A and B are shown apart, each in its own frame.
Chain A
Amino acid sequence: MTRPSDLEMLNPLRSMLRHLTGRHASLRTLGELLAEDLLAECSRQEQAMGLLDSEAGKRRLLTVEIPAIERYNEGRDPEFRIRLVRQGSNLVLCYRLMPTHNIYELETRLYSSYPIVPPETRVLTPLRHCPHLLEGQTLCLWRQGSSRQNSRWDPARYTCIFAVQAAWRWLACYEIWYDTGEWPLPEAR
């Protein structure tokens, strides 16, 4: 599944393919079909119905996700409430968590293909490199084949608040790892 961030990364390649297929007739026979495939996929992904522009997406937001965020925010200290910001075709939850001693700034991104594609959470506060941390301080929270149920994203059962809770658990583990050098949860298969 190509994500929006991947599509942005494909832009230089897309320009190059347009340039090559447009200028060199001999390359058309060789690379044309592959280039067309890629361009069509880019175009499809850009135009595909998403969370903010499909009826199903809007209903999901209005009946499931937004009420869940409002319940989370209710009665919570304003400093720790979730703000929901629109960024193009994505939505970003901006919030702070304090699992034990420290406060962390986080953002959880709901791509336009959410909830089919799981939310992606990254910590903005600098962290030490540790297990279960991916590029750009993105938390490794989901793997579909995982033997641990909470590590498999399930769009029929989880809302974006589940991602916030998963980030809280991850940070609690991080703080223990920071002090002891041991990740407190056993590795899932």
Chain B
Amino acid sequence: MAHIIQVGAGSGGMVVLDLLAREPLVSRITIIEPDIYKPHNVARHYFPKETAGARKSELARQWLLALRPDLEVCCLELDLLSPAAQPQIEEAVATADIGVCAVDNEPAKYHWDGLMRKYKKPWTLGEVLSGGIGGFVHVFRPNGACYGCVASYLQRSVQVDNSPPPDYSQPGGPVYEVTIPASKASITAIASLHALVTLELLQDANYDPGFTSVLLALRRVPQVFEEVLRPYRFRIERMRECLFCGEAATAGAAEDLDVALAQALDRLAHA
């Protein structure tokens, strides 16, 4: 009987929830999602347009209970990054067996990583690339590489962005659109892999798929992906010098952070 805590019930997160909830092993799901379902969500979601205006978390809860009436579903309609929401979120994280991250903004991913490391929970992350040309699934374990280590490694090793540089002759001119919506098919493909890896990790804490991150190319894009449906596996070690999880970052800071910070800022204001 397992408790999953998932942040994000968007177009990808909902696919992951649907697949996880079908497994008898899963007995409890906590969903963190503050958003309202909008008419523009309909194209990539399970829910009809008549449900626009309802909370995504509530729609997700109803969907999951229709599949599994015995499932315990808890909705936290909270913003992951809101300071006021932290006590409630941390309380839920502390009782979970595994975390699932299905959000697409970087501050939220880093914050989720911090929470998972604080409570020593394994977690997974799915990311669909702009335009749905492919996507990543990542597996994180307590004491393993953190999201900072993985993002740093992949940024140095993988080229998935071929947008042009800025036009310096026109400061303030039009900016190249870097985010292109992905198709429902692309989102579902990556989210399904995300759910699969999550279930494997849930069933076996020592599960080793042979990678920390897997990148699946879904479309051929010159100079980015030359082959379709090709997986690229990356085994990424924790960086000793990582500024999120490495020795320097975790070395004992003062217990009263506010006092120590105020003193340090005062010192440097008069340097």
A-side residues, CB < 8 A to B, are: 1, 33, 36-37, 44, 47-49, 52-56, 58-64, 66, 69-70, 73, 78, 81-86, 91, 113, 115-117, 130-135, 140, 143-147, 149, 152, 154-159, 187-189
Task: Tell whether A154 pairs with B81 under 8 Å between CB atoms, given A1-B105, A115-B243.
Answer: no
B148 CB contacts on chain A under 8 angstroms: 155-156
What's the count of A-B pairs with C-beta under 8 Å?
A: 144
**B100: min CB distance to chain A, Å:** 20
Task: Tell whether A56 pairs with B111 under 8 Å between CB atoms, given A131-B168, A134-B171, A156-B149.
Answer: yes
B-side residues, CB < 8 A to A, are: 36, 38-39, 52-53, 79, 81-84, 86, 105-107, 110-111, 114, 146, 148-149, 151-152, 155-156, 159, 161-163, 165-166, 168, 171-172, 239, 241-244, 248-251, 253-254, 257-258, 260-261, 264-265, 268-271
CB of A1 within 8 A of CB of B106, answer: yes
CB of B239 within 8 A of CB of A156, answer: yes
B244 CB contacts on chain A under 8 angstroms: 155-156
CB of A62 within 8 A of CB of B261, answer: yes
A85 CB contacts on chain B under 8 angstroms: 269
Task: Tell whether A134 pairs with B166 under 8 Å between CB atoms, given A44-B79, A73-B271.
Answer: yes
Q: Name 28 interchain pairs, CB-CB below 8 A, sorted by A.
A: A33-B39, A33-B53, A44-B79, A48-B81, A60-B243, A61-B264, A62-B253, A63-B249, A64-B249, A73-B268, A73-B271, A81-B271, A84-B269, A116-B106, A116-B110, A133-B168, A145-B161, A145-B163, A147-B159, A154-B155, A154-B156, A155-B243, A155-B244, A156-B146, A156-B242, A156-B243, A157-B241, A187-B165
